[in-house]
Every structure is written in structure tokens, then in C-alpha cells.
Structure 1
Amino acid sequence: KKEAISHIKRAIEYKFPEENITYKVAEEALQYMLFDFKKDVPFPEPEKPKFKFIDLFAGIGGFRIAMQELGGKCIFTSEWDEQAKKTYEANFGEVPFGDITKDETKRFIPDGFDVLCAGFPCQAFSIAGKRGGFEDTRGTLFFDVAEIIKKKKPKAIFLENVKGLVNHDKGKTLTTILSVLRNDLGYYVPEPQIMNAKDFGVPQNRERIYIVGFRKDLGIESFEYPKPLNKSVCFKDIKEENTVSVKYYLSETYLNTLINHKKRHESKGNGFGYEIIPDTGIANAVVCGGMGRERNLVYDHRLEDFTPVTHIKGEVNREGIRKMTPREWARLQGFPDKFIIPVADASAYKQFGNSVAVPAIHATGKEIIKRILDYANRK
């Protein structure tokens, strides 16, 4: 309730100055206003939706963009990170509900949606029984997803996770997830697939595991994951069109630190360290934290004013070496340029690093929706 009220309040403040809202509280006016407010965002919901979906662990809405492009209407979304919520609201005109592990949040999930989408974090299960059933997942975020599936019984489920899920806890984690979906919840779940973002039109080497499932009573007994597109893209295709701020360029001091750091690691026989992506190359997976930005440095010789900004200690390097910008990270993940980035750079990098690759979600989602709509037409 608190979150719903807070959203309405924000909607009103967005549209009307405080002194003018006294008489704007009639229900009809409020509904019109909310509808109008949501139309004024980069990614409004489709006017004639073909299906409904919910978006759990939504982040900044990568799943939602892809599913809306396919004609879907999002009827519930949850995300607990406050900065991610700001970005989500700027683009979709809605504030996601918070912690999905809480019963009071789950109570807001409506009935009657077709697809449950979730990019849930990877966690080990403390498996008591040998089979790894529903109860063994209690206390993990997958349990919350499974609980929602059990209660709401959507036609399809679409889950995304890190590639490491395959070998996590010697493969037991994935085995348990598949067992719960197939045996406890009654879904046809084909073997999961590792998908790479670079196969779907973005220059990023990002592998993720996709798990798709259909309720068994739908009679859907086959599913093919999308084939890679014959589309070769490289960094220059998503590079900023104009000269970027000096703040993205590395100082000589920091560059030398990275060079020495890499040498130390190479002498120990591992390849850890910074990497410069050529214009004709493809980026390493963008990740939040660690060396995420340093593993995706680029050359850009367009800078003419080398006056350092406050946070750069020492001279700016003259070799044109810089970090990618948040907009370039957005493009690496397949976010359209109309996607608004309302947060500071540090938050933006974290958000895109945590996000899904939109084109790979779109391609897989298209195959899911095709089967659901075929089923609807057969009925």
C-alpha cells in the first residue's frame, strides 16, 4: 500500500506543481492523470497487448523492453535497489514494488498473467533430501520464484542466470531447479541453453543460461532456442558519435598502475588485468564491480582538451585510452538510445553490468510467445 501511494504521489508531483494539486483528487481525474503520465515515457506499454507478463528482479527493465517489443503488457514488477528503481521509473513511468521475498509484496501480484520473467541471482541450496525438491530451495530467491509459479500457474516461465549456474555446487543447483520446475510445479522444461549476447547483434561476449518452461496442460512438447543471427558487429558500431568528456580518459598515473598490475599477474601465469578493445573488436562481458570497466578500455583520439577534471590525479594520458561511457555500456546490452540514464555514472555502470542483454531476451521471448499464441489459437 505504501509503495502504491508513493507512486501516485510521485505521479501527481510529476504532472502538477504542489500548489495546484488541491482539487485534483477525484478518482476519475487521478486515473486519467496516471494513464497520461505513463504515456509520457520512452517505453509506454502497448495499446493492444497480445499477452501479459510479470518482471521479477527487474533491475532497470531489460526483460521488460524485450517483452514489450513483442507486444506484452507488464502487470507487475519488483526490484529492491533504490537507484535501479529510479532508472526504471524514468523509462516506464512506474516504481517497481520492493522485496519479492516478503509476503506483503507478493500479495500485489495479480492473477492471469501469461509469462513469468526473472533474472534471479545464483544461490546454493542446502539440500536435505537426495532429489532436491521444492522445500529444499527454501530460503533462496529461487524458492520465492517457485512459490509464485506454484500459486499463479503462468502459461510460461522465462528465467535468466549466470553461466556459472551450470557448474554451481557441482551441478546440484541447476539439477534442483529443473527438478522443482518439472516435477513439483508441472512444467515442460527443455534443456537450458547458454546464450551469448554477441550472437544477437551486440558487440559483447556475454554468456548467460536461459531456462524456459511451459505449463504441461498446454501440450507444448517442443521448444527451440533461437539460432545466432548472421550479423557481425564490433565496438565501432556502438561507439559514441561525439567526443566524450575528459573524465572518461585515464590519467598517466592510473594507466601505469594498470600496466604494472597486469605485468605482476602475467608473471604469475594468469591473464588478469586491463584490456583495450580495438574498434573492430568485441567487448568482454560488462560486469559491476572488480575490473569491469578496466577490461573494456578503448582508444579514442578525438579529445583535444586534456585539462584534467577534479577526480583525475595527474596528467591525462595522450594515447587516447579511456573507459567506455555508460551509454556505450547501454548499447553493449542492446538498450535503445532513447533509454534514459538518470543516475550518476557509478550507478549506471552497476545497473548495465547487472542487466540482461535485451536482443538475446527478445529473440528467446519471441519463440516463447509464438508457442503461447499458437496454443491460444488452437483453443
Structure 2
Amino acid sequence: MTRNDFTFVDLFAGIGGIRQAFEGVDGQCVMTSEWDSYARRTYETNFPLDEGSDHVFNGDITQVHAAEVPDHDVLLGGFPCQPFSIAGVSKKNALGRAHGFADPTQGTLFFDIKRIIEEKRPKAFLLENVKNLKSHDKGRTFEVIRRTLEDDLGYYVHTRVINGIKWTPQNRERIIIVGFRESNGFEFDDLLIPKAAPKVEAILHRKGEPVVPHDEGRFFNPVTGDVDPRYTLTPRLWVYLQNYAAKHRAAGNGFGFGLVRPGMTTRTLSARYYKDGSEILVEQPGNNPRRLTPRECARLMGFPDSFVIPVSDTRAYKQFGNSVVVPAIRSVADLMRPHLLDTNSNSTRVA
């Protein structure tokens, strides 16, 4: 096996969006952790182990002893966002459940990141979460995270809210937290952002497009360009969504469906997309609008067509809705890479 430029561990890995980005800048994954069996199926289909690989796959990170984690240069973690997201907080409040760090199952997973960093002392880390993390609980949640990473662990921490709309036609704001063990001049201001942002037609199925072999005609007919009719909303559902939107407009709020056509961008793809697809509906002149297909969702998140979708549509919608905009993370990985390879740093903190 060829030794790559640096190694990383992929925690809360989902379907591997962050891994795809860091492998793209010549990083080597030495450990993955993901507890969801369906996400793991997608992950392992797309990242099969090489013969003789020493890669480790763990399930529940809470059951992994920090000392057993392989040595690595970078820790990557898109830790669960539901305890901090606007939608997640609203749902938990409605159910009378705790959120943020008070959530007994998801909110404390950040501290599993802490104990691994404390034990293994990687050169760097990248953490990803929803934009709302910074304002959750009036900023107290984020202050705990910042204080933990900077004061307790001694890392130089940089944060930036990045919108994936610069790389794919989707309005998707996420906070990226990058930390280095040593001071090295890293600045988010140096992030390379594409000059021309794509529009939704860039990800939609079109007549004559190359056939994706592993899709096997699952989503659309490449000869006619027709998307499978099962993605078109039924008359009953379309009437319901229009009535729902009208009701909320009358009440003075913005709830409703998001209809897109060529030249536009989309709302944020969420894990609930499988329910009715209301946040992103594709206009079909002369017909009811339709949902995106899972392949179009993959493209909206920046996954290449070589990425295999081995699960049902429902599972795929959840998985892509929970993933990252791959090219946006790739740009951050590009920015981090020279600092990972530079052994001549200015100073070292002692935690």
C-alpha cells in the first residue's frame, strides 16, 4: 500500500462525504466510526478495503477506547447536528425533550471527540455542524466547544460558516471548525471559492446524459430523458402542499414548498426529504412537480456519479440530507493540506 501524505480518522462518518474530500487531497483513512447500519452499507460499498489494509471500522464511538484509536494526523468529525439545528431543537421542544448538550444520546458525542483528541494529539482536526451551533443556547453551547478545544486541549481554533451554494446549487450553511496543534498561519480568508456558482440544471437528469452503470435505469430513461413517474407528486399530495403553503402565507410566515426551475438554486436538502420532498420540488410544465431522484440529491451534495447508491430511496434521501457538500469540504482540505505537511511551525501549545 502506498503511503499517502497524511492520515486521518473519520468519525460520525455517515456515507463518507468528508472522507471523499480528504482523500481527494491525498489523505489516507485509518479508522472509520459510524453506528447506522444503512449508512455503513453505503460507506463500505463506496470505500471498500484494499487488500492488506490496516483500516479499522468501528460502530458506536462511545464504546471505543481512545487509546485503541490508530495514530493519525487529522481527526475529522461531522458530529450529530440534530441537538443543535433549528428544526431539531423545535422538534425536541415540541416533544418535551432535551436538546444541545442536554440531549443524553447525541449532544454529548462532542466529548467523545474531546477524549480522542486528548489521547492521540493529532496535528489537526476538522469538525462540521449546522450554522445554528454557534447561536444555540444564546452562544453558550459554542463557548463550551471553543473553551474545550482551545483552553483545555490547547489547539489553535478557526471557525467559519460556509455556504455550499458556492460549489453546488444548494443554499446550505454549515459551520466548519478547524484546529491545529501548532500555530501555522492558517486563515479561512485564503479559502478558494469558485467564481461561477452552478444552477439547479447542472444536477438534473437530462436526455442523452451518460448512463450511470450501477444505477441501471433506476431513476430515469437516458434515451427519452424522462424521470421515473414515481418521483412526480400525486394530485392529492400536490393539492395538500399548495393548501399548506397558502395557510401559512395567510398567517404571515414563510412555510411552504420550494419550487425550482432552470436558473435557480435550491433550499437546503434535509434528512426528512423522503417524506414529501416539499423543500425542493422540480417544476414540470404541464404536470405536477416532482422530487429530486436520489442520484440528483447525490449531485446536489457534490458526490460524483461514480458514487454507488446501494440502499432504498428513503434511506438514500436521509443519507444525502445528513451529509456534507463534498467540494466545499474539499476546498477546506486543500487549504489545510500544506499546513499538515509543514513541519516547521512557529510554536507549540502545551495542553
TM-score range, shorter chain: 0.7 to 0.9
Q: Is the 8 A contact 1:78 1:100 kept in 2?
A: yes
Match among 94, 104, 111 for residue 143 of structure 1: 111
| 1:162 partnered with 2:130 | yes
Cα distance in 2 for residues equivalent to 1:299 and 1:367: 38
2:290 alignment partner, SS class: strand
State the match for 1:261 in structure 2.
244
Greater Cα shift, 336-345 or 249-258:
249-258
Cα distance in 1 for residues equivalent to 2:173 and 2:111: 24
Deviation at 1:77, TM superposition (A): 0.4
Match among 182, 191, 205 for residue 240 of structure 1: 205
Cα distance in 2 for residues equivalent to 1:107 and 1:376: 27
The AA in structure 1 aligned to 2:341 is: L
The AA in structure 1 aligned to 2:165 is: K
TM-score, normalised via structure 1 length:
0.75
Q: Is the 8 A contact 2:258 2:266 kept in 1?
A: no
State the match for 2:155 in structure 1.
187
State the match for 1:121 in structure 2.
80
Q: Is the 8 A contact 1:279 1:298 kept in 2?
A: no
State the match for 1:220 in structure 2.
184
Deviation at 1:366, TM superposition (A): 0.9
Q: Which runs of 5+ in 2 are unaligned?
A: 50-55, 84-99, 207-224, 347-351
| C-alpha distance after superposition, 1:259-289 (max 9, x if no partner) | 1111111111111111211111011110011
Change (3 A) 1:281 1:183: same
Q: Is the 8 A contact 1:286 1:292 kept in 2?
A: no
Cα distance in 2 for residues equivalent to 1:269 and 1:63: 39
Change (3 A) 1:148 1:292: farther
Change (3 A) 1:345 1:96: farther
Match among 293, 297, 304 for residue 277 of structure 2: 293
Q: Which runs of 5+ in 1 are unaligned?
A: 1-34, 36-46, 127-137, 302-317
1:295 alignment partner, SS class: coil
Q: Is the 8 A contact 1:88 1:96 kept in 2?
A: no
State the match for 1:97 in structure 2.
58
Deviation at 1:108, TM superposition (A): 4.0
State the match for 1:110 in structure 2.
70
Cα distance in 1 for residues equivalent to 2:300 and 2:107: 34
State the match for 1:29 in structure 2.
none
Match among 251, 256, 271 for residue 273 of structure 1: 256
The AA in structure 2 aligned to 1:193 is: R
Deviation at 1:254, TM superposition (A): 1.1
Cα distance in 2 for residues equivalent to 1:125 and 1:186: 22
1:255 alignment partner, SS class: helix
Deviation at 1:292, TM superposition (A): 7.2
Deviation at 1:365, TM superposition (A): 1.0
Match among 143, 151, 159 for residue 175 of structure 1: 143
| C-alpha distance after superposition, 1:153-185 (max 9, x if no partner) | 000010000000011111011111111111110
Cα distance in 1 for residues equivalent to 2:279 and 2:181: 41
Deviation at 1:319, TM superposition (A): 1.8
Q: 1:1-379 counterparts in 2 under 5 A? A: 47-94=2-49, 96-103=57-64, 106=66, 108-111=68-71, 113-122=72-81, 123=83, 124-125=100-101, 140-190=108-158, 192-199=159-166, 201-216=167-182, 219-225=183-189, 226-241=191-206, 242-289=225-272, 293-300=277-284, 318-375=286-343
Q: Is the 8 A contact 2:7 2:27 kept in 1?
A: yes
The runs of at least 4 consecutive aligned structure 1 residues that moved more than 3 Å come to none
Q: Is the 8 A contact 1:161 1:209 kept in 2?
A: yes
The AA in structure 2 aligned to 1:243 is: D
Deviation at 1:149, TM superposition (A): 0.2
The AA in structure 1 aligned to 2:155 is: Y
Deviation at 1:223, TM superposition (A): 2.1
| C-alpha distance after superposition, 1:62-90 (max 9, x if no partner) | 00100001000000000011100000011
What CA RMSD, in Å, does the superposition of the two structures yield over aligned residues?
2.2
Higher RCO (CA 8 Å, separation ≥ 6 residues): 2
Alignment coverage as a number of residue pairs: 301
Cα distance in 2 for residues equivalent to 1:214 and 1:231: 31
Q: Is the 8 A contact 1:85 1:96 kept in 2?
A: no
Deviation at 1:321, TM superposition (A): 1.2
Deviation at 1:121, TM superposition (A): 2.0
Change (3 A) 1:139 1:194: closer
Q: Is the 8 A contact 1:196 1:207 kept in 2?
A: yes
Q: Is the 8 A contact 2:186 2:336 kept in 1?
A: no
The AA in structure 2 aligned to 1:99 is: D
Identity %: 43
Deviation at 1:227, TM superposition (A): 4.2
Cα distance in 2 for residues equivalent to 1:157 and 1:341: 28
The AA in structure 1 aligned to 2:13 is: A
The AA in structure 2 aligned to 1:97 is: N
Cα distance in 2 for residues equivalent to 1:96 and 1:343: 20
